[in-house]
Amino acid sequence: MERLGYIGLGIMGRAMAANLVAAGHALTVWNRTPSKTEGLNANAVDSPQDVGPESDIVFVCVSDTPDVEEVVFGDFGVIHGMTSGDVLVDHSTISPVATAGFAAQAAELGVEWVDAPVSGGSEGAERGTLAVMAGGDAAALERARPFMETYSTSIVHVGEEPGSGQMVKAVNQILVVLNQLAASEALMLADAAGLDLKTTLAAVEGGAAGSWMLSNRGPQMIERDWRPGFTIDLQQKDLRLVLEAADEVGATLPGTALVFQLYRSLQARGLGPEGNHALVKALENLTGNELGNS
């Protein structure tokens, strides 16, 4: 039986770990804020390094590239407690280039690295319906797949090259933010025209204009519920990675760059902790009208 470890119990990680526990898997966990481990019915340890000896497969879900580097390769990083033949699955969204380097470092110790960023928001993590885009060794992914299926309904191996999962996540994030911009502009037009927003949403979401963002974030926008499934601050971190990746490969992403600047204007107003669907507030600021109050 594979022994499992989990590092990073934030909005996404805590729910994913909880699904593993609910499925009957014993779990060794570490989180920077120890209180996040309470009530999880898992073995909480004092450092990432302590997770390694108790685990054959370690899952990591933290915020950014430097965080992954610290919890894996830092002075008390998990890699120091892992042994040859172990697997590390990184669910964080980080730099594809850095991921390739991290995988090479892990390989020197015989540890297989699977970069497996996820999409689906906090709702998907809680419901077990996340989408996983995984890069790295196919056999290592297959070892981890049965456990990943406790919190995901789509797990696609996108390439053997480490970092390929992260690059596909960049593609995903372009679609997320441009769908959110489209939903924002569409509802602003409906509002300005005096249409009932809930009825308009119901009329269009089942057709060619429908999207996950429209159906899941549209109602929140209408209700002015800015609780995050994914925060503006984290979305901006992801868009920074997208634009860096585009620069490296010479891709032109004018729409993504626009959304990055709109989110930056919201961060300047202190709105970074709000949900990424608060993008509509940038449009409200341009028109001087709040959605639902035209």
Q: What is the pLDDT of residue 1?
A: 87
pLDDT, tens only, 197-209: 999 999 999 999 9
Active site residue 237: no
What average pLDDT score do residues 76-81 get?
98
Set out the domains of the chain in order of their start, with CATH numbers: 4-160 (3.40.50.720), 167-287 (1.10.1040.10)
pTM, entire model: 0.94
Q: What is the mean pLDDT of the chain?
A: 97
Could you tell me which residues come within 8 angstroms of residue 203 by beta carbon, excluding any fewer than 6 positions away?
A: none
Percent of the chain with pLDDT over 70: 100
DSSP H or E stretch at residue 185: helix 164-192
DSSP H helices, the chain, are: 11-22, 48-51, 65-73, 96-108, 121-127, 138-148, 164-192, 197-204, 212-223, 232-249, 254-268, 280-287
Q: 247-263 pLDDT, tens per residue?
A: 999 999 999 999 999 99
Alpha-carbon separation of residue 180 from 122, 235, 252 (angstroms) = 16, 12, 20
Pairwise CA distance, residues 209 & 225, whole Å:
22
Q: What is the DSSP letter of 43?
A: E
Residue 116 · residue 89 · CB < 8 Å: yes
pLDDT of residue 61: 98
Catalytic residue among 36, 169, 198, 281: 169
pLDDT at 294 over 80: no
- Contact between residue 184 and residue 283 where contact means Cβ atoms under 8 Å apart: yes
